Amino acid sequence: MENVLELKDVWKIYDLGKIKLEVLRGVSFYIKKGDFVVVLGPSGSGKSTLLNMMSCLDVPTKGQVFLDGKDVSVFSEDKLAIVRGEKIGFVFQQFNLLPHLTAIQNVVLPTLFRGTSFQEKTERAKEILSSVGLSSRLNHKPSELSGGEKQRVAISRALINNPEIIVADEPTGNVDSKTGAHIMELLENLNKKEGRTVVVVTHDAELEKFSNKIIRIRDGNLIKK
Amino acid sequence: MNTEYFKIALRNLKSRSMRSWLTVLGIVIGIFLVVSLLSLSEGLKDSVMRELKMMGGDILIVYPGDGSDIVTTMMGGVELKDKEIEAIKRAEGVDIVLEMPFTGSVVRHFQETKMALIYGIDLDDGLPLLRDNMGWEMTSGEFPRPGRREVMVGNLVPKDLFPEMMVGDSINIQGKEFTVSGVLRSLGNKQDDLVIALDLDDFRSTTGKREGTPVAMVQLYEGYDAEIAAENIERELEQSMTRRRDEDSPSFSVMTSETVTNMVDSIMGTVQLAVIAFASIAILVGGIGIMNTMYTSVKERTKEIGILKAVGAKRSDITKIFLFEAGIIGIIGGIGGVVLGLLLAISVEIYFSQIHPVFYLEAHISIWLILFGLGFSFAVGCLSGFFPARQGAKMKPVDALRYE
């Protein structure tokens, strides 16, 4: 199987003036197509920064990030934006839905920046929302939805552009355990049934059981088991 | 795709409607000033020009004093005497010279006594000139005939001065009886429309002013060049004055319809420039208002910008969304300003034409002024939105997402 994502000696150093903060210290790993990866680490371990590198939200200070064989660490900001829109689906801990848009509008949002027509994508958004059990919530705003429902809208939004990888940052962090289990089940289904590559970043070791590959991080270094 | 940005921008504005409307108001005021003042000053220019157009190209006006200060000349009682009139008549190209002396006088109509402006006009020579070149016409009755003690009155005389007056009535000017032979069509300003005009000989004998006129109209032979004739008149007048050593020789001015038009043009041009300058300041303030609102908006929506960038929005996409917002504020302000400005201009027009007709002012409402108002407000909106939009677009997605 080909590598969808590969990090080679990735460093992220924040220059805070007097001190240089090394958040990632030479991280290397790869993710194959169809993997379900859990990135595990305590807070402050650098896992959020690692997620930013993997999802093209940020570029490393040193090292390379290959997405689909292309070195995105040298991409311009706009090029990264296009890559994010096409190949990455985001699921955030805080859901990050736009409050003044309805569920379906939030789901369609990423297609806007790809020049595709809203109309044809609206049909697809409906299908996706139905598949996560939200067919009766299409025109509700985030404030009218429960935490679990919001996260399902966020997952639907991640799927709208048919991305290579779904990157989830603490997807169960803001919902109760029962809902959390449901969210994970949903991600597992996307991985098993649709063969999508899923990366979950968490501090919750419970989620290990869903993965076929675990990446542990502490103080900016990967821990080999 | 742009229609979607438009919708997003509109939704964003609606979600902060109070602030949006206040920002719009800033632009409304500026555009309102531009549209109302420009349409009125242009209208004023039009009405002055229309009056001037009644004066044909082969008519010159001669008055004493130099052209720089007409008011002093008129108020100072300086007059062209008979000798000067003779000199003008001698000038090459001159066909008819019409003296137009006027004075305020007590006039009685039945039991009513009022002050009115009376004009003396040579009914033999002058009347055809006024009829053909100045657009004098009768709405009722007939032009007066010389030697019959008849007068014609301006169209506001039977309305404002002597409300019951009819053609055929007799009026009393300084103890002498005259018959109203006809009423003139409006001449375009209130002063002229309140006039009572009588034959020059009657004027002289009634008022006791044996000679002199503050202004003379000159008709040239057909086809004679107005500029050359003006020079001829000036030369003759100078010669006649140097012969009279014993008197101070006042200067004099000869105006062609062209010089009058140019003068009005340049005065109104200055007025309009001032109008535009003041209104521009108002619009500038409105633009700063938009900029302020947009900076606040960008700051408030940092997180939203982060989300949009995470799901694939490029810098240009973010810029567009914010520019659309600023542009919408601008154009709505422009529409509001244009509508209010036109309303004011039309109200002023109605006020002067129907309620209080001092002079005839028609607001000049041109499609260009409206388009200019809208285009300008949109441009100000976009310009004011540009820097805030760029600030939003430049945010790093990671930082923006972390913003709470």
Question: Using one digit for the tens of pLDDT, what is the confidence trace for B120-129?
Answer: 888 888 888 8
Rounded mean pLDDT, B387-395: 91
**Residues B112 and B35 grouped into a single domain:** no
Distance CA A134, CA A149 (A): 7
Q: Do the domain assignments include residue B221?
A: no
End-to-end CA distance of chain B, in Å? 29
**Residues B48 and B111 grouped into a single domain:** no
Q: How many structural domains comprise chain A? A: 1
Give the tens place of pLDDT for each residue, A197-213.
999 999 988 888 899 99
Q: Name B109's bridge partners.
A: B112
Note the pLDDT of residue B54. 64
Q: How many structural domains comprise chain B? A: 2
Give the tens place of pLDDT for each residue, B239-292.
877 665 555 555 778 888 777 788 888 888 888 899 888 888 888 888 998 999
Which residue, of B189, B215, B245, is where some domain finishes? B189
Phi, psi of B272, deg, nearest 5: -65, -35
**Looking at the partner chain, which of B304, B307, B309 has a beta carbon nearest the beta carbon of A81?**
B309
ipTM of the complex in this document:
0.91
Contacts of A82 in chain B (CB under 8 A): 312, 314
**Looking at the partner chain, which of A96, A112, A161 has a beta carbon nearest the beta carbon of B4?**
A112
**Looking at the partner chain, which of A77, A78, A84 has a beta carbon nearest the beta carbon of B311?**
A84
Give the range among A26-40, B115-129, B309-323 with minimum mean pLDDT.
Answer: B115-129
> Considering only CA atoms, which of B51, B199, B20 is closest in space to residue B122?
B199
Distance CA B55, CA B58 (A): 8
Contact A81 B315 (CB under 8 A): yes
Q: Do the domain assignments include residue B398?
A: yes
Give the range among A114-123, B157-166, B320-329, B389-398 with minimum mean pLDDT.
Answer: A114-123
> Considering only CA atoms, which of B159, B161, B181 is closest in space to residue B170?
B181
Distance CA B385, CA B38 (A): 27
**Residues B396 and B310 grouped into a single domain:** yes
C-alpha count within 13 angstroms, C-beta hemisphere, residue A41: 25
Distance CA B221, CA B215 (A): 20
Note the pLDDT of residue B32. 93
Give B9's pLDDT tier (boundaries 50, 70, 90).
Answer: confident
Give A188's pLDDT tier (boundaries 50, 70, 90).
Answer: very high
Contacts of A84 in chain B (CB under 8 A): 309-312
Rounded mean pLDDT, B374-381: 92
Distance CA B179, CA B227 (A): 41
Long-range contacts of A15-24 (CB under 8 A, 24+ apart): A22/A220, A23/A49, A23/A220, A24/A49, A24/A50, A24/A53, A24/A60, A24/A220
Distance CA A194, CA A22 (A): 38
Give the tens place of pLDDT for each residue, B341-361.
999 999 988 888 777 666 677
Burial class (CB in 10 A: 0-12, 13-18, 19+), B234: middle
Q: Please write down the HEC assignment for all residues of chain A.
A: CCEEEEEEEEEEEEECCCCEEEEEEEEEEEEECCCEEEEECCCCCCHHHHHHHHCCCCCCCEEEEEECCEEHHHCCHHHHHHHHHHHEEEECCCCCCCCCCCHHHHHHHHHHCCCCCHHHHHHHHHHHHHHCCCHHHCCCCHHHCCHHHHHHHHHHHHHCCCCCEEEEECCCCCCCHHHHHHHHHHHHHHHHHHCCEEEEEECCHHHHHHCCEEEEEECCEEECC
Note the pLDDT of residue A149. 93
Select the residue from A100, A113, A117 to test the B interface by mutation, using most B Cβ atoms within 10 A.
A113
Greatest Cα pair distance in chain A = 55
Note the pLDDT of residue B257. 76
How many pairs of residues across A and B have Cβ atoms under 8 Å apart?
66
Average pLDDT of chain B, as a whole number: 84
Distance CA B132, CA A210 (A): 103
Give the tens place of pLDDT for each residue, A37-75.
999 999 889 888 999 999 999 999 999 999 999 999 999
Note the pLDDT of residue B259. 79
**Looking at the partner chain, which of B11, B15, B312 has a beta carbon nearest the beta carbon of A85?**
B312
Give the tens place of pLDDT for each residue, B196-249.
998 988 888 888 888 888 888 888 888 888 888 888 888 888 887 766 555 555
Strands A3-15 and A20-32: what pairing?
A: antiparallel
Q: Given CB atoms, is A106 within the 8 Å cutoff of chain B?
A: no
Amino acid found at B198: L
Domain that holds residue B317: 2-52+262-402
**Residues B46 and B112 grouped into a single domain:** no
**Residues B271 and B392 grouped into a single domain:** yes
Structure-token pair, residue B272 = 């309009």
Would you tell me which residues 277-316 of chain B have a C-beta closer than 8 angstroms to some C-beta of chain A? 303-304, 306-316
Select the residue from B309, B311, B395 to test the A interface by mutation, using most A Cβ atoms within 10 A.
B311
Our CA-based measurement puts residue A186 at a distance from the nearest CA of chain B, in whole angstroms, of 20
Q: What is the CATH number of the domain that holds A176?
A: 3.40.50.300
Q: Do the domain assignments include residue B246?
A: no
Domain that holds residue A107: 3-223
DSSP string covering B315-331, please? HHHHHHHHHHHHHHHHH
**Residues B112 and B38 grouped into a single domain:** no
**Looking at the partner chain, which of A58, A77, A110 has a beta carbon nearest the beta carbon of B312?**
A110
CB A47 within 8 A of CB A214: no
Q: Do the domain assignments include residue B251?
A: no
Rounded mean pLDDT, A103-113: 90
Average pLDDT of chain A, as a whole number: 90
Distance CA B383, CA B401 (A): 27
> Considering only CA atoms, which of B145, B148, B139 is closest in space to residue B166?
B139
Q: Do the domain assignments include residue B212?
A: no
